[in-house]
Amino acid sequence: MIYLDNAATKATLDIVKQKMKPFLNEYYANPSSNYRFAKKCREAIEKVRNDIAGMLNVMPEEIYFTSGGTESDNWAIKNTAFANKEKGKHIISSRIEHHAVLNSLKYLESIGYEVSYARVMENGMVDVNHIKKLIRTDTTLITCMMSNNETGVIQPIKEIGRLAKKSNITFHTDAVQSFGHNQIDCKELNVDLLSASAHKFGGPKGVGFLYISDKCNTFPYIHGGSQERNMRGGTSNVAGIVGMGVAAVTANENMEAWGSKTRSLRDYMAYRLLKEIPYSRINGDMNYRLDNNINISFQYVNGFTLLELLDAKGICASGASACNSMQKEPSHVLRAMGLPDEIAVGTIRLTLSESNTKEEIDETIKEIKNIVSNLREIQ
């Protein structure tokens, strides 16, 4: 099998599994209990909080553990909206957000909030000038992702953060595709809330975190026990959190090396695909882009058929995103970028990791070339 779908999820790192194991075996205490046996679990959790806070240049008390990116996005968006409703009910976002964000916003619209969606440029970047124009006195939240999960395009977060700060608006960023892959400094970027998810950077599934700046006006999200500073009740996912911490530290230590290895494989693959397959195009800016992403359209080919035939050869890739792949609808992201539907339907996303080899990439290029040329012939 050749795995080229690392934006959907990344394989759990071996070191992560190793370090999680004791917390599935001998250290099974409830971390909230008072005896010494529970202290080991509590300390392990707090170490992760410290490590992650250090990477983001924030305080450990500002990191809250969640069940993943979707929960973090829901928490950030709904709670900011609720907490500031006296000030206003207007929110600004973009058309290329993940559905965890878009559907949270849709829900808020259904209960009386108003959302303005900023335009996206042809290169896949949110138009900051449009965001600026959308700001109103009753705007309480701007939510814009740090990098897009379909195109890998890195968004102008620093500029948006500056705008938000100047206008005294809370700024949330979904950094699920960026955390563990790129350095992030929440202070420098003026980010007030940041979502991340462990399984996108080599940790286990079902665990993530939300950074909430202490300056934010927020209140409990999950009502229950006093875990997570009374903000999110429920017994902590000890092994999951430990695994996420190990993944974060490992990803951070290897960021340069893994990034450059992935990038050179990606560039090689992109170059050959474009050169050797006529009527192909890469969507999204090539310079402001995650190291692992190729979003490529083949004209006169159906992307779903192409993916099925690749799957038959043992190659895992996706369409727009894992979450949309069942819908067979052209991607909302490519649409927002102005790509015509007839080209968007011929699009696949290949997302690499440092574990991929040149042999795997060569094999995949060969198969894509064959399949595309066969599909075009029978057309």
Ligand X SMILES: *Cc1c(COP(=O)(O)O)cnc(C)c1O
Q: Annotated active-site positions, please? A: 323
Q: Which residues pair with 126 in a beta bridge?
A: 120
The helix or strand, by DSSP H or E, that contains position 209, with its residue range, turns out to be: strand 208-212
DSSP annotation of 229: G
Q: Does 303 bind ligand X (CB under 6 A)?
A: no
- CB nearer ligand X, residue 68 or residue 303: 68
Q: Does 145 bind ligand X (CB under 6 A)?
A: yes
Q: Does 283 bind ligand X (CB under 6 A)?
A: no
Q: Which residues pair with 197 in a beta bridge?
A: 208
Torsion angle in degrees (nearest 10) through CA of 213, 128, 74, 323: -140
- Choose which of 16, 62, 79, 174 interacts with ligand X (CB under 6 A): 174
The C-alpha atoms of residue 228 and residue 226 are separated, in whole angstroms, by 7
3-state secondary structure of 14: helix
**Shortest distance (Å) from residue 271 CB to ligand X:** 26
- Choose which of 31, 69, 124, 180 interacts with ligand X (CB under 6 A): 69
**Shortest distance (Å) from residue 69 CB to ligand X:** 2
State the burial class of residue 137 (Cβ atoms within 10 Å of its Cβ: 0-12, 13-18, 19+): exposed
Which tokens go with 53? 């806070």
Q: Does 330 bind ligand X (CB under 6 A)?
A: no
Residue showing the smallest CB distance to ligand X in the complex = 69
Annotate each residue in 179-218 with x if it binds ligand X (CB under 6 A) or - if it does not, as one string: ------------------x--x-------x----------
**Short-list 206, 199, 202, CA closest to 251:** 202
Number of residues in contact with ligand X, rule: CB under 6 A?
14
DSSP annotation of 285: -
| CB contact set of 22 (below 8 Å; sequence gap of 6+) | none
Q: Contacts with ligand X in 113-142 (CB under 6 A)?
A: none
- Choose which of 155, 177, 237, 353 interacts with ligand X (CB under 6 A): 177
Q: Does 100 bind ligand X (CB under 6 A)?
A: yes
> Which residues would be at the binding site for ligand X (CB under 6 A)?
68-70, 73, 98, 100, 145, 149, 174, 176-177, 197, 200, 208
